């Protein structure tokens, strides 16, 4: 038996081993070694990034791994780097936070690593079986992370709601997979595409399977009407976990969404296009409208992340190459915008809690102008105002959708972006136009150099993408140039 | 003669029972049992199709589903223990700290 089979799989093997090492290191170093263990986990992510870089084929050639269960292509490499960035930033955001809440230890970074491994497998899944296993590895790690503060009832409640609805959606997705398997006789995505394009089918079992799979995937990206878990899970989770689940798992879910729908089910485009169209429209409308009346910043950002999933769905509805690469670009920009915004929520502390209510932000511009300026920048980016990266990301998605002929949907998207200005600027008004005298609780920016580093990094990246979008967009385009199944 | 259609109908019934159970029942342990029903509906489907198609990959996926469902149940039970320690209840209606 040859070990060559495993060579392109080395980054994943390393990540699995690292998660165990981090867990054991956490136990031996005790509660006081939180920062050391987080640093160890971050270092292993950096090594994984190097390994991914080494084994990636710069030519863009597609290489099957483990007998075609996984595939190594530019698309998976793009999402692997994105996920690694999200996980590493989460580790740096969480170390100080966990120390302050006395929840330190090795379990947290170890679970982040296993979730990262699950997202790696999702990013390169070429078979519905490996896709499911990767999805569950990610989801199970994340359920535990959401309920990590086990003595906090809100953390527990968020985890329970996320778990019950997440497991149900996995069941629905699996039921769809079983129906697709029954009607096409294969779980392999390339074979599904080949079978569908040689003999287009419209039998009821297959269509039901595709629709159920779409429901499962829409749940994972938190699209309306499958979004009910999102606000509670985001609000209840420890804030660094909220930052993580709003970007990492969402990007990975978009990776499998694109690979299954935009690639494998592409020949049946007309059958599922309307489902995604309706979901995108509802997601943009409901996400933005519901965000208006939130007084809790985490909840407001939860609805905002629902709305952003709706914008990204536009690229899938467009179905063109430009649409798919626009989704990749959107996920990249969104990752840095959202982690930055949640990082600021972590850094603003009031009465021992993160700055969760909008009134905590009153008068921040007087007390720490730099922090207020950075938060203003993230709000501009999330609203999609130039010269931030958020504007460029929206521009590419919207123009791809217009070119594909979905003018109506883009009109909804632009109108809803205008609505989103209202709730993003509510926070800005609070920071700049209130004097903060009524904020007796004294919400202050805390000193946590690691978390500050992450926030500044996100600011720089978003600004750089806003000013020079071309290199990133070229990278995103390269991501689909040799998508493993075409 | 029992055909794949019969299995499909049985699994649809199981899936519906599971979905209704997850949404209607308020006891967390019953909800976990309903989730298991959903996964077993999937397994029944996969194995019936696999037998009908003469293709093993469906049965392999069913084994993965069983394994993952076990891990999922472990996490669900862990959440139940955390909940009973905090609130001394397994009733989901008594857990509503967050609104909106």
Mean pLDDT of chain A: 89
Mutation for B interface: A118, A167, A286, A356, most B CBs within 10 A: A167
**Residue B34 in domain:** yes
Decide if B93 is inside a domain: no
Burial class (CB in 10 A: 0-12, 13-18, 19+), A46: exposed
The candidate with the shortest Cα–Cα distance to A310, out of A254, A268, A259, is A254
Instruction: Report the chain B residue with the minimal C-alpha distance to residue A136.
Output: B68
Q: Which domain holds residue B31?
A: 4-87
Which of A158, A181, A232 lies at the smallest CB-CB distance from B46? A181
Q: Which of B71, B79, B97 sits opposite A147 (nearest CB)?
A: B79
Residue at B98 is within a domain: no
End-to-end CA distance of chain A: 30
Q: Is residue B22 part of a domain?
A: yes
Phi, psi of A38 (to 5 degrees): -65, -40
Residue by residue, DSSP assigns A218-256 as HHHTT-TTS-THHHHHHHHS-HHHHHHHHHHHHHHHHHH
Check A154 against B97: CB less than 8 A apart.
yes
Number of domains making up chain B = 1
Give pLDDT tens digits for A380-397. Answer: 999 999 889 999 999 999
- B28 belongs to a structural domain: yes
- Report the alpha-carbon distance of residue A477 to residue A31 in Å, rounded: 45
A283, burial (CB in 10 Å: exposed 0-12, middle 13-18, buried 19+): buried
CATH of the domain at B12: 1.10.287.3510
CB within 8 Å: B22 and A159: no
Measured between alpha carbons, how far is A72 from A332 in angstroms, rounded to an integer? 19
Q: Which two tokens stand for residue A381?
A: 């980016």
Q: Regarding predicted confidence, which is higher, A183 or A445?
A: A183
Q: How far is B1 from chain A (nearest CA, A)?
A: 19
Are A140 and B72 inside 8 Å of each other by CB? Answer: yes
Partner residue facing B64 (CB), from A129, A140, A236: A129
Bridging pattern class, strands A70-72 and A348-350: unpaired
Domain ranges of chain A: 3-479
Residue A82 has pLDDT above 70, yes or no: yes
Whether pLDDT at A464 is above 80: yes
Residue A425 has a pLDDT of: 92
Determine, for residues A147 and B68 on separate chains, whether the beta-carbon distance falls below 8 Å: no
How many Cβ pairs closer than 8 A exist between chain A and B?
Answer: 122
Nearest residue of chain A to residue B51 (CA atoms): A182
Q: How far is the alpha carbon of B25 from chain A, nearest alpha carbon, in Å? A: 12
Q: Is residue B94 part of a domain?
A: no
Identify the band that residue A348 occupies on the pLDDT scale cut at 50, 70 and 90. Answer: confident
For the whole model, what pTM was predicted? Answer: 0.94
């Amino acid at each position: 038996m040859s070990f060559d089979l495993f060579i392109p799989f080395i980054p994943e093997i390393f990540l699995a081993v690292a998660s165990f090492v981090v867990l054991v290191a956490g136990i031996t170093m005790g509660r006081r070694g939180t920062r050391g263990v987080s640093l160890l986990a971050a270092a292993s992510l950096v090594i994984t990034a190097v390994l991914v870089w080494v084994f990636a084929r710069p030519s863009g050639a597609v290489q099957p791994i483990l007998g075609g269960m996984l595939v190594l292509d530019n698309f998976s490499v793009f999402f692997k780097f994105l996920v690694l960035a999200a996980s590493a930033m989460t580790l740096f955001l969480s170390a100080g936070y966990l120390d302050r809440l006395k929840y330190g230890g090795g379990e947290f970074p170890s679970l982040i690593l296993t979730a990262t491994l699950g997202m790696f497998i999702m990013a390169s899944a070429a078979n519905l079986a490996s896709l499911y296993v990767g999805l569950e590895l990610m989801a199970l790690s994340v359920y535990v992370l959401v309920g990590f503060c086990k003595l906090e009832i809100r953390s527990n409640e968020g985890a329970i709601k996320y778990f019950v609805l997440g497991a149900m959606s996995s069941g629905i997705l699996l039921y769809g997979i079983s129906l697709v398997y029954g009607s096409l006789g294969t779980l392999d995505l390339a074979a599904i595409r080949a079978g569908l394009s040689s003999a287009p089918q419209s039998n009821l079992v297959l269509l039901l399977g595709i629709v159920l799979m779409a429901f499962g995937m829409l749940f994972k990206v938190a699209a309306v009407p499958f979004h009910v878990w999102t606000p509670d899970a985001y609000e209840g989770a420890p804030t660094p976990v909220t930052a993580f689940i709003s970007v990492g798992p969402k990007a990975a879910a978009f990776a499998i969404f694109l690979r299954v729908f935009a690639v494998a089910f592409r020949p049946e485009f007309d059958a599922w296009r309307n489902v995604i169209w309706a979901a995108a429209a509802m997601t943009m409308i409901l996400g933005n409208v519901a965000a208006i009346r939130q007084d809790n910043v985490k909840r407001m950002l939860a609805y905002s992340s629902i709305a952003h999933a709706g914008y990204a769905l536009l690229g899938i509805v467009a179905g063109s190459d430009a649409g798919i690469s626009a989704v990749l670009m959107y996920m990249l920009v969104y990752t840095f915008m959202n982690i930055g915004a949640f990082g600021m929520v972590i850094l603003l502390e009031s009465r021992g809690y993160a700055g969760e209510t909008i009134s905590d932000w009153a008068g921040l511009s007087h007390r720490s102008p730099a922090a207020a300026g950075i938060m203003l920048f993230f709000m501009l980016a999330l609203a999609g105002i130039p010269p931030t990266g958020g504007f460029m990301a929206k521009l590419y998605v919207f123009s791809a959708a217009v070119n594909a002929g979905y003018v109506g949907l883009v009109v909804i998207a632009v109108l809803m972006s205008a609505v989103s200005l209202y709730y993003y600027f509510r926070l800005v008004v609070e920071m700049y136009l209130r004097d903060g005298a009524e904020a007796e609780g004294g919400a202050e920016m805390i000193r946590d150099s690691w978390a500050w580093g992450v926030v500044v990094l996100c600011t720089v990246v978003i600004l750089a993408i806003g000013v020079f979008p071309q290199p990133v967009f070229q990278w995103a385009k390269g991501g689909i140039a040799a998508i493993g199944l075409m | 003669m029992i055909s794949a259609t019969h299995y499909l109908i049985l699994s649809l019934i199981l899936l519906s029972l599971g979905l209704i159970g997850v949404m209607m029942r308020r006891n967390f342990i019953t909800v976990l049992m309903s989730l298991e029903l959903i996964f077993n509906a999937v397994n029944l489907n996969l194995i019936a199709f696999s037998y009908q198609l003469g293709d093993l990959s469906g049965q392999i996926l069913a084994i993965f589903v069983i394994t993952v469902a076990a891990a999922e149940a472990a996490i669900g039970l862990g959440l139940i223990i955390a909940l009973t320690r905090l609130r001394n209840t397994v009733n989901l209606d008594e857990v509503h700290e967050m609104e909106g």
